[in-house]
Amino acid sequence: MVGTPITPINGRTRLSFGVVNGGHDLGPSSTPPSNAGSDYGSVEFTREDVEALLNEKSKRKDRFNYKERCENMIDYIKRLKVCIRWFQDLELSYSLEQEKLKNSLELNQQKCMELEFLLKIKEEELNSIIVELRRNCSSFQEKLMKEESEKTAAVESLVKEKEARLNFERSQATLSEDLERAQRELQTSNQKISSLNDMYKQLQDYITSLQQYNGKLHSELSSAEEELKRVEKEKATVVENLTMLRGQLTLSMSSQEEATKQKEILASEVASLRVELQQVRDDRDRQLSQLQTLTSDLVKFKDSSEKSCSELNNLAIKTNELEEKCSLQDNQLKALQEQLESAEKKLQVYDISAIETRTEFEGQQKLVNELERRLADAESKVIEGEKLRKKLHNTILELKGNIRVFCRVRPLLPDEGCSTEGKIVSYPTSMEASGRGIELTQNGQKHSFTFDKVFAPDARQEEVFTEISQLVQSALDGYKVCIFAYGQTGSGKTYTMMGRPGFPGEKGLIPRSLEQIFQTRQSQQPQGWKYEMQVSMLEIYNETIRDLLSTNRSTSDAARVENGTPGKQYTIKHDASGNTHVTDLTVVDVESVKEVAFLLNQAANCRSVGKTQMNEQSSRSHFVFTLRIYGVNESTDQQVQGVLNLIDLAGSERLSRSGSTGDRLKETQAINKSLSSLSDVIFALAKKDDHIPFRNSKLTYLLQPCLGGDSKTLMFVNISPDQASAGESLCSLRFASRVNACEIGTPRRHTNVRPTESRLSYF
């Protein structure tokens, strides 16, 4: 009955479907039944045809002809069942192919591991040989480098000695030239000194002659004065002689003045000659000091030249020795190079063998990668088939109008794990019931149930929310959505809905749903969508509605108790559109997750809880969280109206086990009565009775649009795996199976053109 995948044609995957003989085909491209003796023929069908089948609307001439509608619906369901069977068989074939691929992959991996082991052994041997060769090569290279360094050091020392010798010879030549130049200058200075001494002697003789002449003039002056005195005495007698004497006197005076002038000139010349003589003496002293330093340097250079000559001889001897050593090292180096060339040749041979083994390994690796790719393709096909199966299953459920039911089993508590009677809950492993079936054993008898999804005790909060995330998204799309948790006391309902406060990884469905809604709201703003949201929270305690967000709740409750008069009365009303109102209930506009978290914390603090023998902190009321969503697209003038109801029901419990007395007894009786009314409504819906007793309790009357209207409804049935709770768990599972069989109206999206006012009536 099952066909095989057809080769893609024009980019579309064509599938082969089976149809029942005599039945309707699944699409327009059907083929006649095969003659192989099978009950199903082969039909070639595209993915678009499957989508068309899912989106097919029933064609009816008379809307009141229910028989025709039923026949069309039965026919449509038969075709869907055929499609589902085909997908199940295809899934089975994929699973078999997957197992074959896994087996082949394991064999290839084992071969690859063996090859890798052999390759590692060869690589280790080659690496050891290469390491030894490299070690020898490195030792030879180190010896060679040492010899070359010694050789270069010797050559450098030789070059330095040669340069020092040349510098010494050059300095010796320059010193000899300086010495000769100094001797010549000394000779010239001695000649100048001798000439200056001769000139000094001549000057001294000239000065003595001048002194003699001056003495002579003085003697003549004294004789002339005596003569003048004698003449003055003989003045009267010798006037002519006087005039003559005056003339002589004037001549002598002029000659005396000339002599004084010549004396001054000679004195100045003598002073200048004395200065020159002092300069010559200074030059002589400087030349003598230079001569002394040059002679001392000459002595030092002679000593150093003798030492350098001896060192040069020693260096020449060492150079000869080093040259002999270098020749020996050159011979050793040639031998080492020959050994290195032979080692490199061996290394090339080893490299070639390693490359061959590596290419073989790469080929095996490519084969493994190809097998892994084929395995991944098969797994993706299995996942795609599972998604399509879920979609077809959900389509059938929507057509039937059933309430979806998820089952969640909580983990065993520490004081429950010590039971010796064994586990009472098991999960079937068959392909059809995997993830959807649960089996409960009581008194040796096994009871099997199948739901839309079953969560084992190890399921995380994130996994649970992933399964309902699309349902939460429907509230933003304009649907009414209701999710409620049902189960006995201590089975984990509040943990599923609210989570554990203070642990972000264990948040429940309510906070996670709000995060998703506000994130989607933010992401749809660029598309022109704007949303307004309102939150209300209430509890039904002892058949009385309590507003958990009322600001004066505590004072009003106290006044009610003191006066004995009833407080504010909250009335449940349903309008023609299926919307639910609770009069005088507090409704709060919210804009962020933080605001809703604050309101949830406030409501949790106000909720009625109590201690029983079955739970340390048991919820004693039904908690109802309502989020109303109004969305408007400014670009298309489209508006949506969605409602999200998240309900945490109070736990069902037996009076014998709970041990309730007083107020706890009244609470337990009220809880059991409301849950009994809920089961009555479910049974009436399952039997399709004309009268559904929604008004028997406040809870069922509040849930009337969710149970009997056009809402998308999901129930979580929470189960305790404890042996002592087997009876209550079995009752909960039976009740959940009846809920799953109830048919309600088909979900309807609430959209229309944006009105002039900004709010809807139910806001």
> What single string gives the DSSP state of each residue in 200-212?
HHHHHHHHHHHHH
* % of the chain surpassing 90 pLDDT: 10
Same domain, 29 and 162: no
Quick check: 542 pLDDT over 80? Answer: yes
Same domain, 211 and 253: yes
Quick check: 396 pLDDT over 70? Answer: no
Same domain, 720 and 660: yes
Long-range Cβ pairs for the range 98-102 (8 Å, 24+)? 98/375, 98/378, 98/379, 98/382, 101/371, 101/374, 101/375, 101/378, 102/375
Span 238-264, mean pLDDT?
71
The pLDDT, as a whole number, for residue 188 is 78
Inside any domain, residue 763: no
The pLDDT, as a whole number, for residue 490 is 85
The pLDDT, as a whole number, for residue 532 is 92
Q: How far is CA 229 from the centre of its chain?
A: 140
Inside any domain, residue 409: no
The pLDDT, as a whole number, for residue 535 is 94
Condensed to tens digits (0 to 9), the pLDDT of residues 397-435 reads: 565 555 889 999 998 887 776 554 568 899 888 776 778
Alpha helix stretches (DSSP H) within 524-592 = 553-563
Q: What angle do CA 750, 752, 756 make, to 5 degrees?
A: 125
Same domain, 108 and 142: no
Inside any domain, residue 208: yes
d(CA 412, CA 722): 7
pLDDT: is 732 or 266 the higher one? 732
Same domain, 317 and 365: no
Q: Report the mean per-residue pLDDT for the chain.
A: 77
Between helices 509-523 and 461-476, what is the axis angle to 10°?
50
Inside any domain, residue 397: no
Provide the number of structural domains found in the chain: 3
Quote the pTM value.
Answer: 0.49
pLDDT-derived band at 22 (thresholds 50, 70, 90) equals very low
Would you give the DSSP letter of residue 1? -
Same domain, 562 and 663: yes
State the residue range of the domain holding 720.
Answer: 474-736
Inside any domain, residue 427: no
pLDDT: is 30 or 116 the higher one? 116
Inside any domain, residue 747: no
Query: For the chain, how many residues are written?
Result: 763
Cβ count within 10 A of residue 190: 12
CB 648 within 8 A of CB 493: yes
Span 58-69, mean pLDDT?
68
Nearest to 626 by CA among 647, 607, 640: 647
Same domain, 108 and 151: no
Same domain, 315 and 365: no
The pLDDT, as a whole number, for residue 513 is 93
Inside any domain, residue 416: no
Inside any domain, residue 709: yes
Q: φ and ψ at 568, to 5 degrees?
A: -65, 130
d(CA 217, CA 191): 39
Quick check: 717 pLDDT over 90? Answer: yes
Same domain, 199 and 62: no
Same domain, 105 and 183: no
Same domain, 304 and 378: no
Q: What is the CATH number of the domain that holds 509?
A: 3.40.850.10
Place of tokens 């199966």: 389
Same domain, 247 and 188: yes
d(CA 391, CA 402): 15
